[in-house]
Structure 1
Amino acid sequence: MFKRRVGELAKRPLIVPADATVTQAADLMVRADVSCLAAVTGAKVVGFVTERELVRRLDVDLDPASPVRETLSRTVGGGILKDLSANEAIKTMLERKERHLPVIDVGGSLIGVVTDKELVDALAVDFMVENVDCRAVMRPEPICLPPEAPVQAALDRMREAGVGSVLAVTDGKAAGIFTERDALRAIMGQPERLADPVSAYMSRPVVSVPAEAMVYKVILYMRQKGVRRLAVTEADGRLAGVLTQPDILLYARRMG
């Protein structure tokens, strides 16, 4: 995988007019199950709007009627060259603490976008060779809250920790998970819901795997389930940790 070039992995992003509202952009992300959109003026891509950027501002200063162009997180000019190795792309993604990188040609034209999902999917063979289990890769102390905690508290914790989800835990077991996607779906344009309990909007049941599961199988399982994070459990069902796509990339970076 590390010999592959990002140009092989990049995909064309969905587009949204730069003058569309952030609510329209959020609706498109939720419906299309994507976390990044390319904002366009005419036929020109002027930047990108991400799920994380919207959620970080959701409860602070984000006007649901504001145009997308006011929330662009980066421009095409910050992209990586299509001939960059996947290994270097992982390094860049981790250093920038981003989940999406525009991929450009030598002339600066946009080829597509590579996300942590494409990089993780391409890592399955490498992890099969390494024979690594989830316990070696997971984060053993995920961000957790009781299901009755308010949504506002969940957003605060996500922002402080720079993560995309919190686990709702009862008696040491994961009862649900509240993600950036859940936040966009439920809270955009409805700030009164910030006081509601996380349990009202969290996803359940939580997709989980045993701590001894091989990571290469888990990567395939994540692809099958269409999820970016999993709860990792002990044999008795208690929460052992959380495994996310950035965790897999961080471990792969050490392997490389």
Structure 2
Amino acid sequence: MKTLQEVMTTPVLSIEPDKSVSHALGIMEQKTLSALIVAKDKKPLGIFTERALIQIRVGGEIDYSSPIHQVMSSPPLTAPVDMDYREAYQLLLQHRFRHLVVTDQDGYLVGIVTGTDFLSHLGLEYFMEFKNVGQVMIRDVVTLKASLPAFTAMKLMNDRRISSLVIEDNGYPKGIITERDLLRLIRAKIDLETVPLQDVMSKPVQTVFSDVSSHEAAKIFMSNKLRRLVVTNSSGRCVGIITETDMVKGLRTSYTDHLKGVIQQKDRQLKKVKRQMEERSILDSMLQSVGDMAITIMDPELEIIIHNHAAEDLHDCAADTLIGSSAEILYKNRNNLKQFKKAVAVANKEGRHEFVMKQYKVGTPRYLATTVFCIRDQEENKTGFGLIARDITEQKKGVLELEQKKKEAEDANIALKVMLDQHTRTRESVEEQISIKLQELVNPYLDLLQQSGVNEKQSETISIIAAHIDSITHQFTPKARKIMLKLSPRETLIADLVRQGKTSKDISEILHVSLRTVETYRNNLRKKLGINKKKIGLRTYLTTDFRYQK
């Protein structure tokens, strides 16, 4: 078990309570500290942080000569040096603090723990639990324009309880302003209400891609002594930000697993001495400190032994009314009860079972990420079951909305395809009707002209017109029709004359152009039809292969 003794920063700087604010700020800036402990006779009395400084400055001007004990946070959050580091991290989460003062058994100051300390002591196996930066980064990045005054950034950081702001231009990160930057500016007594961010922001911005491994990101944090990285896409636009705090969030899951082990260990110890009441007291004390995770501990017959505060809120059942009752009372819906029983059976056989349970609360659906695990002693004898549940309704709603939008898009695509097919069939039907009418209405008149005693030249022209009509009404394949549309009117005319068997000389006489011009058109036709390098005659291609292309 790794304790705070192994991860804390020691020795730690401290300041006497009667020292001035100006003196404290000087130490923090010189030593690049995010917090300074106020102590007397090696006993911690309070702590002064960058965030506290910002909060004071937002409220008005700072009296740099006032003693630090007037503005420090007191008492500081402390933990014993032998506390498990995962439990210490949970303590910080519970109080929403970023600094934990470490003391020995007599209450004397021995060290301090921050996110940097947790990150630097995590092994490679920790980073295997989440693969890349994109899985843990914050996507809702708070940004400002570089032209705004620094005070605007400071006030926004104070209101949102964030440690930094990205300065961007059209989505591209141009700089960053952090609590440490503001400490420097406040100590220098810069007029924050007038100085623009572009003059005081830190630049260039240290960036990273979202697909970079978490382990690689941790090395960037440590080697560059950074507390945050801006995440960009391939175009250089800002898509997220990741901090040391985000990198160590997985400790929460690790603490849950650790807690399970502690529960099993305590169960074995307490069973040996037959002290059931003491067991309940110890376990209950531990389980009340796990934040928003609802935990219920049951005996082998599923009778509830412990039901923590988060479980009371989640299930709307007070612990004192449930202790000694079957855990099945938590599930009034038949389907939910069936899910729970199945999970118990699987956990009994395989050790644990995870699933998402859908419940209805006042007619509104909610989703619970649920885990049932079997607790066994050192001899592998079953001693009970554990139930962990967490409300994930908001995440589930997001997934369901995405699935609905995907289905709507697929339905729209199907409808468009049906409409397109119908349009194609209608167009082909109209073309066919036009072709038939053209032959029925025009050809009889051509026959009459042919029989009206015309000369040889006129007769040949009438024959060409009839052949053209036959060409127009002939059904081409879609591919052939597409190629024909690319031809000019004169090229189309010459192609049709070639298809009728007319020689270049014939075409020259019919169209009153030179023989060389006709040959040029024929060569262009071969290129456009894609047969200029093939051993096939133009007329043969037009009357056979071309007409039936697929």
| TM-score in same-fold range (> 0.5) | yes
Residues 1:40 and 1:128: Cα distance change in structure 2 (over 3 Å): closer
- Distance in 2 (CA, whole Å) between partners of 1:82 and 1:92 is 14
Q: Which residue of 1 aligns with 2:80?
A: 81
Which residue number corresponds to residue 333 of structure 2?
Answer: none
Matched residue, 1:70: 70
The alpha-carbon deviation at position 161 of structure 1 amounts to 1.1
Moved more, 13-22 or 135-144: 13-22
In structure 1, stretches of 5+ residues that fail to align are: none
* Equivalent pair of 2:43/2:109 in contact (CA under 8 Å): no
Residue 107 of structure 2: aligned partner: 108
1:165–1:178 CA contact under 8 A, matched in 2: yes
**What are the superposed Cα offsets for residues 31-78 of structure 1, whole Å, 9 maximum, x if unpaired?**
1111111223455442221121112212314322221111212335x3
**What residue in structure 1 maps to residue 524 of structure 2?**
none
Whether the 8 Å CA contact 2:22–2:187 is kept in 1: the answer is: yes
CA drift of 1:127 comes to: 3.7
Which ranges in structure 2 are unaligned for 5 or more consecutive residues?
256-550
Could you tell me whether the CA contact under 8 Å between 1:147 and 1:197 is conserved in 2? yes
- Partner in structure 2 of residue 158 of structure 1: 157
Post-superposition offset of 1:117? 0.9
Say whether the 8 Å CA contact 1:64–1:189 is kept in structure 2: no
Larger Rg: 2
Looking at structure 2, the residues matched to 237 and 229 of structure 1 have their Cα atoms a distance apart, in angstroms, of: 17
Distance 2:192 2:106 in 1: 46
1:31 corresponding residue in structure 2: 30
> CA–CA distance in 2 between the matches of 1:104 and 1:19?
22
Q: Cα RMSD between the aligned structures?
A: 1.8
Alignment of structure 1 residues 229-240 onto 2, 5 Å: 229-240=228-239
Q: State the alpha-carbon separation in 2 of the partners of residues 168 and 47 from structure 1.
A: 33
Give the superposition deviation at 1:165.
0.7
Q: 2-side partners of 1:176 and 1:124: how far apart?
A: 32
- Provide the residue aligned with 1:190 in structure 2: 189
CA shift for structure 1 position 189: 6.0
Q: Which one has a larger percent helix, Structure 1 or Structure 2?
A: 2
Query: Contact between 2:58 and 2:155, CA under 8 Å: does it hold in 1?
Result: no
Q: What does 1:1-256 correspond to in 2, within 5 Å? A: 3-11=1-9, 12-41=11-40, 43-61=42-60, 62-75=62-75, 78-188=77-187, 190=189, 192-256=191-255
AA matched with 2:5: G
- Pick which of 39-48 and 193-202 moved more: 39-48
SS of 1:204's equivalent in the other structure is coil
Q: How many residues align?
A: 253
Question: Would the aligned equivalents of 1:103 and 1:113 in 2 still touch at CA under 8 Å?
Answer: yes
CA 133–64 in structure 1, closer or farther in 2 if over 3 Å, else same = same
2: distance between equivalents of 1:255 and 1:170? Answer: 39
Give the stretch that moved more between structures: 83-92 or 103-112. 103-112
Equivalents in 2 of 1:109, 1:41: separation in Å?
A: 10
* 2:51–2:158 CA contact under 8 A, matched in 1: no
TM-score (norm 1): 0.91
Deviates most, 124-133 or 202-211:
124-133
**Aligned partner letter, 1:185:** R
Alpha-carbon distance between aligned partners in 2 of 1:239 and 1:83, rounded to the nearest angstrom: 41
The AA in structure 1 aligned to 2:208 is V
Distance 2:156 2:248 in 1: 22
Q: For residue 250 of structure 1, report the CA deviation from its aligned partner.
A: 2.4
2 CA distance for matches of 1:21 and 1:233? Answer: 42
- Tell me if the contact between 2:42 and 2:109 (Cα under 8 Å) persists in the aligned partners: no
Are the counterparts in 1 of residues 4 and 84 from structure 2 also a CA contact under 8 Å?
yes
Say which structure is richer in strand.
Answer: 1
Secondary structure at the counterpart of residue 195 of structure 1: coil
Give the whole-Å Cα distance in 1 for the aligned partners of 2:68 and 2:125: 38
One-letter amino acid of the counterpart of residue 6, structure 1:
L
